[in-house]
Amino acid sequence: MRVLVTGGAGCIGSDLVAMLASNGHEVRILDNLSSGRRRHLTPLLDLPHVEFTEGDLLDWPTVDRALSDVEFVHHLAANPDIKFDVDEPTDKDLRQNVLATYHVLEAMRKRGVRRIAFTSTSAVYGRSSVLPIPEDLALPRPISLYGASKLACEHLLSAFQNLFEFECWIFRLANIVGPKVRKRGRTVLADFISRLFKDPERLVILGDGTQQKSYLLTSECVDAMLHCIEHARESFNIFNVGGDDWISVSRIAELVVEAMGLPNVRFEYTGGDGGWPGDVSRFRLDVSRVNALGWRACHNSEEAIRQTIKDLLEQPSLFDSTGDG
Interacting residues toward a second copy by CB under 8 A: 84, 90-91, 94, 98-99, 102, 105-106, 109, 126, 135-145, 147-149, 151-152, 155-156, 158-159, 162-163, 236, 238, 277-278
3-state secondary structure string, 209-242?
CCCEECCEEHHHHHHHHHHHHHHCCCCEEEEEEC
We find the least distance from the C-beta atom of residue 32 to a second copy, in angstroms, to be 20
User: Closer to a second copy at the Cβ: 174 or 190?
Assistant: 174
User: Closer to a second copy at the Cβ: 143 or 259?
Assistant: 143
We find the least distance from the C-beta atom of residue 67 to a second copy, in angstroms, to be 15
User: Closer to a second copy at the Cβ: 51 or 234?
Assistant: 234
We find the least distance from the C-beta atom of residue 87 to a second copy, in angstroms, to be 14
We find the least distance from the C-beta atom of residue 77 to a second copy, in angstroms, to be 18
User: Closer to a second copy at the Cβ: 101 or 194?
Assistant: 101
Contact indicator for 273, 282 with CB cutoff of 8 Å = no
What's at 251, amino acid-wise? R
User: Closer to a second copy at the Cβ: 6 or 161?
Assistant: 161
We find the least distance from the C-beta atom of residue 277 to a second copy, in angstroms, to be 6
Please enumerate in sequence order all residues whose Cβ is within 8 A of that of 28, keeping only pairs 6 or more positions apart, or say none: 2, 3, 4, 5, 51, 52, 53, 66, 70
- Dihedrals φ, ψ of 270, to 5°? -75, -15
Could you tell me the CA-to-CA distances from 227 to 3, 113, 183 in Å, in that order? 16, 21, 29
Q: Give the Cα separation of 45 and 47 in Å (integer).
A: 5
Contact indicator for 47, 17 with CB cutoff of 8 Å = no
